[in-house]
Amino acid sequence: MAVGSFSTDWLPIAGIDISTIAAGIRYQGRDDLVLIRCSEETAFATLWTQNHFPAAPVMVAKQHLESADTRYLLINSGNANAATGSEGFRDAIACCQTIVEHLGGEASQVLPFSTGVIGERLPLAAFEAASASLVNALGSKDWLDAARAIMTTDTRPKIASRQLTFGGKTVSITGVAKGAGMIQPNMATMLSFIGSDAKIAPATLQLMLSEATRLSFNRITVDSDTSTNDAVVLMATGQSMVAVDANEQDLLEFQDALTDLMLELAHGLVRDAEGATKFVTVEVNKASTPEQALEIAYSVANSPLMKTAVFASDANWGRMAMAVGKVPTAFDANLVDLYIGDVCLMKGGIRNTEYREADGAAVMAEEEILLRIDLNAGDHGETVWTSDLSHDYIKINAEYRT
């Protein structure tokens, strides 16, 4: 069902070791638990869900980040350990403990991440049984194994790498992500772990992650729902010995590569969205303000009627106009042009007299669709990406738990 092609190429990151295992937390016959070890001196940047019911691992990871030097990330799929109260909180700490029992150190040096079903206790026994093998295998598994092990309703692993050269020295970035639904602006049900061997100070790293997230994971939407477990982690091990924050030019180059990599991962989430049959780019141009551009872009991208029209390959420009028009902020409807791809459907607020249904049908039949809205009211633009709303979205989400 996924739309387009997914690369499985990746670069190793010096200073990051990976291990994965089939712990049987929920799924059978596949890896579902990942351990990531970072070398000492690794800098961390993190972003977390804004849901008012953050899951236990989110709360524990934030505490651990503040109280100790992080060395490990422990990620499980199949169970989100969310809305599990104080027991869930203790479980999240306990699963960190299973790792340091074999590795030494404090449980607070481990950041826990969970994704999957909400409201069920984490099966601690599965973590305990798997921990020795998981620790022993550190370094034996790769980023693609990690990308696979964190999948829930995903059908494809999402992985991307970038390489840059600074003064003859190479810097690599590799990231993985998971998430196929409950994806709305603020990261939603998604986890992403990105590593680089660049040397970057933590404060700078945090700024870089925020900016790259704003332009990638915060510009995609599948169903407007926001999960309790979202997290994005950026790790800079410094093992390349290249301090990219030493000069502004290098920093900007790294920032661009990071944003580009995260956009590839974000697009991967949309391409693999639950039930997706189309990859949809919604572009709003010539708005009065960036906020207006985003408001309209999301209104179109989240409209169930527009999304079902896209699923049906129906160039239903009436629904597109409806979705543009339903936003709270006023605009001059008589200036608005609507396009699908290069085909102009509406010109100056009314049906384009030269528009022919056959042209609209031709562009809508494609797998990759561009919905373009020109407000002709200013010079601000924004782009968001989404999928269509299909029978399979309902099927997947109606049957996920049962």
Q: Which residues bind a second copy (CB under 8 A)?
A: 50-53, 80, 82-88, 117-119, 181-182, 184, 223-228, 302-305, 308-309, 311-312, 314, 316-319, 321-327, 330-331, 333, 346, 349-351, 389-391, 393-395, 397-399, 401-402
CB of 266 to a second copy, least distance (A): 19
> Residue 204 or 397: which CB sits closer to a second copy?
397
| Burial tier of 161 (Cβ tally within 10 Å: 0-12, 13-18, 19+) | buried
CB of 402 to a second copy, least distance (A): 6
Residues designated catalytic: 189
> Residue 290 or 318: which CB sits closer to a second copy?
318
Distance CA 282, CA 284 (A): 7
> Residue 232 or 234: which CB sits closer to a second copy?
232
> Residue 197 or 272: which CB sits closer to a second copy?
272
Phi-psi sector, 241: left (phi>0), alpha (psi -120 to 50), beta:
left
CB of 7 to a second copy, least distance (A): 29
> Residue 218 or 237: which CB sits closer to a second copy?
218
CB of 22 to a second copy, least distance (A): 24
> Residue 52 or 354: which CB sits closer to a second copy?
52
CB of 236 to a second copy, least distance (A): 31
Pair of tokens at residue 162: 């970038």
CB of 353 to a second copy, least distance (A): 9
> Residue 30 or 391: which CB sits closer to a second copy?
391
CB of 227 to a second copy, least distance (A): 6
Q: 3-class secondary structure for the chain? A: CCCCCCCCCCCCCCCEEEEEECCCCCCCCCCCEEEEEECCCCEEEEEECCCCCCCHHHHHHHHHHHHCCCCEEEEEEEECCCCCHHHHHHHHHHHHHHHHHHHCCCHHHEEEEEEEECCCCCCHHHHHHHHHHHHHCCCCECHHHHHHHCCCCCCCCEEEEEEEEECCEEEEEEEEEECCCCCCCCCCCCEEEEEECCECCHHHHHHHHHHHHHCCHHHEECCCCCCCCCEEEEEECCCCCCEHHHCHHHHHHHHHHHHHHHHHHHHHHHHCCCCCCCEEEEEEEEECCHHHHHHHHHHHHHCHHHHHHHHCCCCCHHHHHHHHHCCCCCCCHHHCEEEECCEEEEECCEECCCCCHHHHHHHHCCCEEEEEEECCCCCEEEEEEEECCCHHHHHHHHHCCC
